[in-house]
Amino acid sequence: MKFDVIEGFRRLSAAFGPSGREQDAAQAITALVNDCVPDADRWECTKDAMQNLIYHRAGDGKKVLLAAHMDSIGVVVTHIDDNGFARFAQVGGLMLGDLIDCRVRFQNGTRGIISFEEKTPYKELGFDNLFLDIGAANREDAERLIRVGDFAVYDGEPFAQGGVIGGPYLDNRIGCVTLIAAMAQLEQAECDLYVAFTAQEEVGLRGAQTAAFGVQPDYAIAVDVTDTGDMPERKYPMAVKLGAGPAVKVMDRSVICDGAVRDALYRAAQTCGIPVQREIMEFGGTDTGVIQRTAGGVRVGAVSIPTRYIHSPNELAAVSDIEQAASLIAGVLKEDFFCET
Ligand code: CO
Ligand code: ZN
């Protein structure tokens, strides 16, 4: 495959894009599509009111929607005190332990460090006991850089080593990279194809709901990260591991995938010689859930990238899983299931 997953991820990682503030991420996606998808000029690109970025390439077959959310988790400033320290609220699901001593960045490039009130015993810390330090002398000084209502995301460089990539925002820029890599292999697909990079997934699957309603597809496949069960002493067993191939979702908290779509994915995997894993994620949901329940209902499946430490500043995934996920999605669209008119 010509498409360079690591380079693609680096480019999308550089873009700021917490939920509700996805404009930079959308721009980076458009640039990557233009550079990497050979028939980019055949795709029509629009944005809806929710800021979902939707590509469409007209075809005669079934209407198929591929989706990946482009937003990332983050924090939003709620208050700045007289000494210039900021308080914040979560944008999406954060874990307290991930935030302590963590570095964040704002859209304007301002960096901050999250710390905690030392008078509270460490074990009793809640989000209310955390604060954000941008090194300001006082409130006035702080407000030159950040204001109440400003969003920030984890600050960190991605890295690649020995077949894995790490860094913040794998959830879900890596899903966006997967879809762009799939688009680059889809010249032959005959279905009426939509690819949506959705907004505000991390705050409750919000963008996908309007994107799917706007498209009203016959079928949809969403791409997102999923947990793995392969770390030492994990609390819950899970039959998904890093580097053993993309995971075909059976179920999560938001969805039970359509059996026929899931089977089409299994068949395509066999045809293409791609190993796949079977995913049941007991915690968390995905865009797939709201797409399924759009309008009169949509037949859905999902392909997941096995990822460790999801929602931490340092997520980890295998490059081969991402490449194979892209080939699987390109492959499944050639299945009769999607091709009948
Ligand atoms: Co997430
Ligand atoms: Zn996600």
The total of structural domains in the chain comes to 2
Given a cut of 60, is residue 1 above it in pLDDT? Answer: no
Q: Is residue 185 located within the same domain as residue 268?
A: yes
- Give the pLDDT mean for 275-298: 96
- Find how far residue 233's CA is from the centre of its chain: 27
Residue 162 falls within a domain, yes or no? no
* Residue 162 in tokens: 């020995």
> What is the 121 CA–ligand 2 centroid distance (Å)?
32
At 327, is the secondary structure helix, strand, or coil?
A: helix
The average confidence (pLDDT) of the chain is 96
Instruction: Please state, in angstroms and rounded to a whole number, the distance separating the CA atoms of residues 99 and 122.
Output: 13
Give dist(CA 173, CA 142) in Å, integer. 31
Q: Is the pLDDT of residue 306 over 70?
A: yes
Supply the pLDDT for residue 341: 58
Reported as a pLDDT band with limits 50, 70 and 90, residue 95 is very high
Ligand nearest to the CA of 93: 1
Residue that finishes a domain, picked among 103, 126, 154 = 154
Catalytic pick from 118, 140, 201, 340?
201
Report pLDDT for 2: 72
Lookup: tokens for 121: 């015993």
Determine the 3-state secondary structure of 3 from DSSP: coil
Residue 339 pLDDT more than 90?
no
The pLDDT tens digits of the residues spanning 261-285 come to: 999 999 999 999 999 999 999 989 9
Same domain? For 223 and 279 the reply is: yes
Both tokens assigned to 239: 């039959």
Cα–ligand 1 centroid distance for 135 (angstroms): 29
Distance CA 250, CA 236 (A): 17
Average pLDDT of the residues in 307-336: 96
Write down the residue that tokens 């949506």 correspond to.
Answer: 196
- The ligand with the least distance to the CA atom of 198 is 2
Domain range for 268: 5-72+168-340
Contacts of 38 (CB under 8 A, 6+ apart): 184, 187
176 alpha carbon, closest ligand: 2
Give the distance (Å) from ligand 2 centre to CA of residue 69. Answer: 7
Instruction: Check which CATH number belongs to the domain holding 247 and give it.
Output: 3.40.630.10
Task: Please report the pLDDT score of residue 334 as a whole number.
Answer: 86
Model-level pTM? 0.97
The verdict on whether 202 is a catalytic residue reads: no
Within this chain, do residues 58 and 183 fall inside the same structural domain, yes or no? yes
Centre of ligand 1 from the C-alpha of residue 147, in Å: 26
Here the CATH number for the domain that contains residue 137 is 2.40.30.40
Is residue 202 domain-shared with residue 326, that is, in the same domain?
yes
Question: What are 104-136's pLDDT values in tens digits?
Answer: 999 999 999 999 999 999 999 999 999 999 999
Q: Alpha helix locations (H) across 138-251? A: 139-143, 170-183, 206-215
CB 138 within 8 A of CB 123: no
Ligand 2 midpoint to CA 83 (Å): 36
Helix (H, G, I), strand (E, B) or coil at 291: helix
Residues 79 and 51 in one domain: no
| Weakest-pLDDT range from 11-20, 26-35, 231-240 | 231-240
Give the pLDDT mean for 139-160: 97
In this structure, the answer to whether residues 317 and 290 fall within a common structural domain is: yes
